[in-house]
Structure 1
């Protein structure tokens, strides 16, 4: 796995919008936070464009992203937001120059598309905060601080109190996954999961419980779940029930899907669509330890 160069003061970070339309004020405030950290910031020319639910047309979004992928003066790309549209944007991109000179990309949710592509091409990336998550209660969030520290080369390690549905054990493997709905949508495409021996991270937002079960059953019946070495479950926020109650909580749905396997399972990892949203290095060799009282997630770069 290739780990892009870490950042230093004065380096340029680009903010582009490859998916959903954005609130310009949130992005402008986010750029201010990055400048306070000592970085130069470039916002894509079309970052605030709008075309239906998208941040401009497919061509406009791709033009901004292509520019920063190719620009060697840009040392990291932080996406303005997720939403929907990354896969459409991706179809218009040429990654050849980027893959010759990789840089960190940062984002989550719909950005899982790019994490999947980069993993398959041997480049690590950061599942981490975008501008709407830079602040909490009017000050820089801990999630933002940890993400910036990671980009500067301080690798985080995490220790969490155990969830009652955890399954104990130790695992070592590359970290894959991201937003479960996007992972599910990529099944059968060139960006499908490579599960064998790896640790899968999943999170999601505002899905019906029956659809969560549908996605987990897809991963189970297709053989993905049985090939894993470990599972890390992040936030499943604002999940919805139907007129007839499904009868299980999100964690119960997920645990049931992996009950027959023996690898460690960690619930409640603080990453996803609500705070805290801690940074994860996708593609990194990762150690997962689920003990009786606490769980640990360590990156072994």
Structure 2
């Protein structure tokens, strides 16, 4: 496994009107057509190509593992496709990822877009190819997505300025840092630990989010990362949405922000809570694998590239 430092990231070519983009489904099957996504992408001047997986079904998946891998491979190998957008997350990417040859991305970089289960893809291509990718809204989420979050996706894809100002949080830890932005869904980050898709966290700004987890489980996952040495040498930490968190009959006794604060309390890098990204309608886009600047002050925080 290769690891990439601050000087090494590769930024795929930003999109231009007339470019072809593909929608594929590497995990769970779709319950609705891609009409909204097609209309949105076409309004940006893009040509949309749909993969076989968009209409495929195999148990809970968008076709069996081989079909989902072939669909991804088709778009990786097609130099006319400038971005590959995952239609949704769910579960299933880990079942097909090792059937895909990603090496073509080194010769012909293109954007891989998605979040949630797609964290595995992001981590894999950052770790092995130093290639930036986009954590952002997916086609399934478009009907419920905020207009602003969709605009941030357009900005990210077309290479326009992307910067955020975040409201203050009493649990924030102040400071300024620079580093490559990595991360995504906490459950998937833990699932990649020790694998060929694992990322070097040292000197990186880590973003984390999750949905529907028990508080004790989130605590355990964070402590797994800590015990693996992942949290010790970060440049900074950004905490996104941890939505629909659950508790046991006997209360855990801490909310998710308190859990995170305790786990990283001994470290000294800046920490920003309440970043608008994750399983939320205002899921603002982040360019992972690209150098970023995080500044956390008493009166708020900022993230820029």
Distance (whole Å) between structure 1 residues aligned to residue 280 and residue 286 of structure 2: 15
1:159-201 Cα offsets, whole Å, 9 max, x none, are 1111111000111111111000000111121122311111110
Structure 1 equivalent of residue 103 of structure 2: 96
Q: CA deviation at 1:155?
A: 2.9
Q: CA deviation at 1:70?
A: 0.5
Mapped contact 2:292–2:304 kept (Cα < 8 A): yes
Name stretches of at least 5 consecutive residues in structure 1 with no aligned partner. Answer: none
Root mean square deviation, CA, Å: 1.2
Structure 2 SS opposite 1:231: strand
Mapped contact 2:85–2:113 kept (Cα < 8 A): yes
Structure 1 equivalent of residue 5 of structure 2: none
143-152 or 107-116: which moved more?
143-152
Structure 1 equivalent of residue 35 of structure 2: 28
Residues 136, 47 of structure 1: CA spacing in aligned structure 2 closer, same or farther, 3 A cutoff?
closer
Mapped contact 1:134–1:141 kept (Cα < 8 A): no
Mapped contact 1:235–1:271 kept (Cα < 8 A): yes
Structure 1 equivalent of residue 276 of structure 2: 270
Structure 1 equivalent of residue 3 of structure 2: none
- Structure 1 length-normalised TM: 0.96
- Structure 2 length-normalised TM: 0.94
Moved over 4 A (4+): none
Is 1:281 aligned with 2:290? no
Alignment counterpart, residue 243 of structure 2, candidates 226, 237, 253: 237
- Counting only pairs closer than 5 Å after superposition, residues 1-301 of structure 1 correspond to structure 2 as 1-25=9-33, 27-120=34-127, 121-136=129-144, 141-299=147-305
1:213-259 Cα offsets, whole Å, 9 max, x none, are 00111111221111111100000000000111111111111111001
Name stretches of at least 5 consecutive residues in structure 2 with no aligned partner. Answer: 1-8
Distance (whole Å) between structure 1 residues aligned to residue 188 and residue 90 of structure 2: 11
Q: CA deviation at 1:134?
A: 2.4
Distance (whole Å) between structure 1 residues aligned to residue 231 and residue 147 of structure 2: 34
Q: CA deviation at 1:95?
A: 1.3
126-135 or 5-14: which moved more?
126-135
Mapped contact 1:47–1:61 kept (Cα < 8 A): no
Distance (whole Å) between structure 2 residues aligned to residue 76 and residue 190 of structure 1: 23
Across the two proteins, how many residue pairs are aligned to each other? 296
Distance (whole Å) between structure 2 residues aligned to residue 125 and residue 37 of structure 1: 19
Distance (whole Å) between structure 2 residues aligned to residue 254 and residue 60 of structure 1: 39
Mapped contact 2:30–2:140 kept (Cα < 8 A): no
Mapped contact 2:36–2:143 kept (Cα < 8 A): no
